Amino acid sequence: DVKVTQSSRYLVKRTGEKVFLECVQDMDHENMFWYRQDPGLGLRLIYFSYDVKMKEKGDIPEGYSVSREKKERFSLILESASTNQTSMYLCASNLQGSVRETQYFGPGTRLLVL
Amino acid sequence: AQSVTQPDIHITVSEGASLELRCNYSYGATPYLFWYVQSPGQGLQLLLKYFSGDTLVQGIKGFEAEFKRSQSSFNLRKPSVHWSDAAEYFCAGAYGGATNKLIFGTGTLLAVQP
């Protein structure tokens, strides 16, 4: 079974803090993704990575950065957290290729920024 | 612009009743289409996907979906709903080719009455 794990299920941070969200997959997938999920908006792609040290902006990259130093790990960084970044963050991964390859999701990190 | 629309935000059905969740897409070409389910506190799980060929697609957990080009729809169905089907359901679509970007609908929250 593919497993995508996220470092925290719940996180509470203060405005201005630097926040790291970690994602690890165990299936040797080339592609990894970060989404945020908000009620009424569905899932929106923040960033994705198609290889180590490679990244591409998604639809809402502002205020976020990412890091992929190892194939299995993809980190989302909020350089200076703001209250409008309070959300559910979902990580996903899939095999390289077209979008035909199923994306497998982690359980999500619910982030509250005070 | 590419979009996926789920017109129903919230649906309630009785256990044992049939279910149909609506999804409409807007693309120039035939998209790849997916249905995902998110149970409470969980990540997204793929139910089924359509790329081409037979327009009736069978998925896991007894779900099926039918692609109708004339209506730009990809509705999800189940003949008899179980209480464990209560969850949020997301339709997603993408162009083919090398892109890995999925476009998600806003989700439909399904409640099941005993």
pLDDT 10s digits, A2-43: 689 999 999 999 999 999 999 999 999 999 999 999 998 999
Q: What is the pLDDT of residues B41-80, one digit of tens each?
A: 888 999 999 988 889 999 999 999 999 999 999 999 999 9
CA distance A4 to A24: 6
pLDDT tens digit string along A44-72? Answer: 999 999 999 999 999 899 999 999 999 99
Q: Which residue out of A9, A43, A46 would a mutagenesis test of the B interface target, given it has the greatest number of B Cβ atoms within 10 Å?
A: A43
Query: How far apart are the C-alpha atoms of B34 and B41, rounded to whole Å?
Result: 21
Tell whether B35 lies on the interface with A, counting CB pairs under 8 A: no
Calculated CA dihedral for residues A22, A25, A31, A32, nearest 10 degrees = -20
Is B30 exposed, middle or buried, given 0-12, 13-18 or 19+ CB atoms closer than 10 A? middle
For chain B, the average pLDDT equals: 91
Q: Do A99 and B105 touch (CB under 8 A)?
A: no
| Contact assignment for B100 to A48 by CB distance below 8 Å | yes
* For testing contact with chain A, the best of B44, B45, B47 (most A CBs within 10 A): B44
Please answer whether residues A86 and A13 qualify as being in contact, where contact means their C-beta atoms are separated by less than 8 angstroms.
Answer: no
Average pLDDT across chain A, whole number: 93
Q: Tell me whether strands B103-104 and B87-94 are parallel, antiparallel or unpaired.
A: antiparallel
For position B94, what pLDDT does the model report?
A: 83
pLDDT of res. B53? 86
Interval B96-102 mean pLDDT:
65
Residues of B whose CB is below 8 A from A61 = none
